[in-house]
Amino acid sequence: MIGRDVLDAALRAAIAEGEAALETGDVPVGAVVLDADGAVLGTGRNEREATGDPTAHAEVLALRAAARARGEWRLGGCTLVVTLEPCTMCAGATVLSRVDRLVYGARDAKAGAAGSVWDAVRDPRLNHRPEVVPPDLVPRELSDRCSDLLSRFFARRRIR
């Protein structure tokens, strides 16, 4: 089992990825995939604006990078750490990649698919359901940073 300090470091790295997404005007979401020992296999940040790709969400890009690093699409034993609760597409990718655990820092009350609006990752009809670690089980300082990053981004967009 990956220790709390490793998970916290991964969430900090995901926050840094999210901050980097700001440079391209993308929604500041970042993701990191850890292997069973806590080593980073892949990272990603939202790149929809940067690439014009509607599927270029942080989670999808991090899962793709992890699959390349591992040499296969099955990511059993891995943990996906992301700043924002996955949408339905990313929740589906999480399930289909077979990651064992999903950790996220902020809830998404409009599009969250890991318990807020939908619970696609824990649907009992699926053959794989990762453990979910929601924001209330993440250190408050880190969940606040995830939420604040998104709040500041959207506040600036509303002012324009």
CA–CA dist 128, 77 (Å, integer): 13
- Quick one: residue 52, left, alpha or beta (phi over 0 = left, psi -120 to 50 = alpha)? left
131 is catalytic: no
Strands 131-133 and 30-34: unpaired
Residue type for 81, please?
V
Is 57 labeled as ligand-binding? yes
Q: Does the annotation flag 87 for ligand binding? A: yes
For the record, the structure tokens of 10 come out as: 């991964």
How far apart, in whole angstroms, are the C-alpha atoms of residue 138 and residue 101?
13
Given 17, 47, 49, 59, the catalytic residue: 59
Is residue 30 helix, strand or coil? strand
Q: Check the annotation: does 146 bind a ligand.
A: no
User: What CA dihedral angle connects 152, 53, 99 and 94, to 10 degrees?
Assistant: 80
Question: What gap in Å lies between CA 144 and CA 90, rounded to an integer?
Answer: 22
Give the catalytic positions in this structure: 59
Residue set of the binding site: 57, 87, 90
Residue set of the binding site for Zn(2+): 57, 87, 90
